[in-house]
Structure formats: structure tokens, C-alpha cells
Amino acid sequence: MKRLDLNRRRLLGRALALGAVTALPACNYEDPAHPDLADRFLHAMSSWNDRMQAALFSRHTLAPTFSAAQITRPPRFNAFYDISQAPVVDPATYQLELSGQIQETAPWSLAQLRALQQESQITRLICVEGWRVIGQWSGVPLGDFLKRIGADTTCKYVSFQCADGYYSSIDMASALHPQTILALDFLGAPLTPAFGAPLRLRIPTKLGFKNPKSVMSMSVGNVYTGGYWEDQGYNWFSGS
């Protein structure tokens, strides 16, 4: 909680915002573990927005695709840490771990994943901050993969855990969207650590932070698992 600072500048600023509203105590998700009234209001509205977005979502509405000439070069790195801290995962020993409501939970090596039907896309990645980049990704359509491993696609959530401690989860309808892929390649070459090597989720129907990088394990279930940013207040569905 910020201390009460009654200097003139601050009061003027608040008056300018026409804002007794800005003076609401901790209206900013400061402490997710101890939500106050404003936090609870925002949380309720965010849940409402999750439901509205799920209702608006259509598996048949495709994200726009672009030409190779429109690809953003150089690509833009973005994470909650510096590029030098991007996790390095050994591709030779990597295995995608599976758990939850899945019949065949044997882990998958990169070679096994590459042997599956690959899908390429040139799509737009929109960051929650507002900027956007266009890139080319290819990999395994998640819907195909979920069917292949015998996942229960009536479950609500598909969750991802990453090498850098990041985690996120998406709704099943979005997971089954034809443009949702487990990407292995970026700009025609295997993913590099900064861009999510060796495997990342690429989901052009959601905001950038819903595209977890360096995915180590995936689970399917009905228990809400949130996400790194989602648990701090970003809207969970965050569809585009």
C-alpha cells in the first residue's frame, strides 16, 4: 500500500484525471493474494470478459495471413527477462512431457515431432502492449497432436510449462483452432533460444503472452491453471 502523499502536485494530478476514481485504494492488482474490493470487481469483469470472448470465438474465423515480404525483420525479442537470459535447452535430449487427461502420455522427442505433418503460417503476433510483428512459424497443429495422443478434447484447458519458469493455459476451443501450432521452426530455421527453442506454442488468435516459449510439458484437464501474467492480472482468454 502506498503511503498517503498529500502534496499539491499529486492532488492537482488527481483532479486533472477528474479522478476521485484514481484515489480508490489499490485499484491496481498490487497484491493478488489479498484482493480488495476494486481487485474483486476487476476479477469479476475479467471472468465476464473470458466468457464473452469464448462466445465470440469461432474455430472457422482465421487470423489474417501475410506475404513473406511483410515479415518483420529483424524479429523482435520480448520476454520478462533480458535476451541473454533466454533458456538454452539441449535439442538432442529434449522431450515434451505430457500429463493429465491424455491416453498416451509417453514423452515426445523433437525428431518424433518433426516426423508429424507440419503446418506453416505467416501470421501477426500482437503484444498486449499494443505493438505487432509479423513472422513465419511452422510446426505441428495442436489439434492434430491432441487427437494423436488421445487427449480428452472435451476438457476445458490445455496448460503449458516452460524452461524459464513461464507458464500459461488456453481454452480447448482455441487449442483446436486450425492455426494453433506447436511451432518448431521460425523464419525457416529451428527456433533459437530467444524465440522459444526448441518448441513453443504459436496461437495467432490470442495475444503474444499466450504463446509460451521453450515449452517443456503440456497437460490437459478441467482444473484452471492460470499463467505467469494471468495470475498478475492480465485477462486469461486474451483472444484477438
Partner 1 sequence: MVKESRRPIHPWPLRVMHWLNAVAIVMMIGSGWQIYNASPLFGFTFPLLITIGGWLGAGIAWHLAFLWLLVANGLAYLLWGWLSGHFRRKLWPISITAVPSELWAALRFKLPHQRGRYNAVQRLLYAGVIVAGIVVVVSGLAIWKPVQLWFFTDLLGGYVVARYVHFFAMAAIVGFLVIHVLLVALVPKTLPPMIFGGRAEGAEQ
129 binds partner 1 per the rule CB under 8 A: yes
| Span of 19-27, 113-121, 154-162, 182-190 interacting with partner 1 by CB under 8 A | 19-27
Q: Is 34 in the site for partner 1 (CB under 8 A)?
A: no
Q: Considering the complex, state which of residue 23 and residue 106 has its C-beta at the smaller distance from partner 1.
A: 23
List the interface residues with partner 1, window 158-217 (CB under 8 A).
204-205
Is there binding between residue 31 and partner 1 (CB under 8 A)?
no
Contact between residue 50 and residue 237 where contact means Cβ atoms under 8 Å apart: yes
Q: Does 232 bind partner 1 (CB under 8 A)?
A: yes
Specify the DSSP element, H or E, that contains 121. Answer: strand 119-126
| 61 scored as a contact of partner 1 (CB under 8 A) | yes
Distance (Å, rounded) from C-alpha 156 to C-alpha 97? 19
Strand, coil or helix: 54: helix
Does a cis peptide bond (omega within 30 degrees of 0) precede residue 74? yes
Nearest distance from residue 120's CB to partner 1, in Å? 19
Residue 191 is which amino acid?
A: L
CB of 147 to partner 1, least distance (A): 23
Q: What distance in Å separates the CA atoms of residue 82 and residue 168, rounded to the nearest whole number?
A: 20
Q: What are phi and psi of 37, to 5 degrees?
A: -60, -45
CB of 106 to partner 1, least distance (A): 34
Q: What does the alpha-carbon distance between residue 76 and residue 67 come to, in Å, rounded to a whole number?
A: 18
Q: How far is the CB of 208 from partner 1 (least distance, A)?
A: 12
Per rule CB under 8 A, is residue 143 in the interface with partner 1?
A: no
Asked if 187 and 136 touch (Cβ cutoff 8 Å), the reply is yes
- Measure CA of the first residue to CA of the last residue in the chain; give whole Å: 34
Q: Three cell numbers at 112?
A: 518424433
Considering CB under 8 A, how many residues would be counted as binding partner 1? 44
Asked if 235 is part of the footprint of partner 1 (rule: CB under 8 A), the reply reads: yes
Stretch that binds partner 1, among 96-104, 154-162, 181-189, 226-234 (CB under 8 A): 226-234
CA–CA gap between residue 95 and residue 55 (Å, rounded): 35
CB atoms within 10 A of CB 143: 19
Closest CB to partner 1 among residues 25, 188: 25
For position 14 contacting partner 1 by CB under 8 A, the verdict is yes
Q: Which of 68, 115, 127, 223 binds partner 1 (CB under 8 A)?
A: 127
**Which residues contact partner 1 by CB under 8 A?**
9-10, 13-14, 16-19, 21-22, 27-30, 41-42, 45-46, 48-49, 56-58, 61-64, 124, 126-132, 204-205, 229, 232-235, 239-240
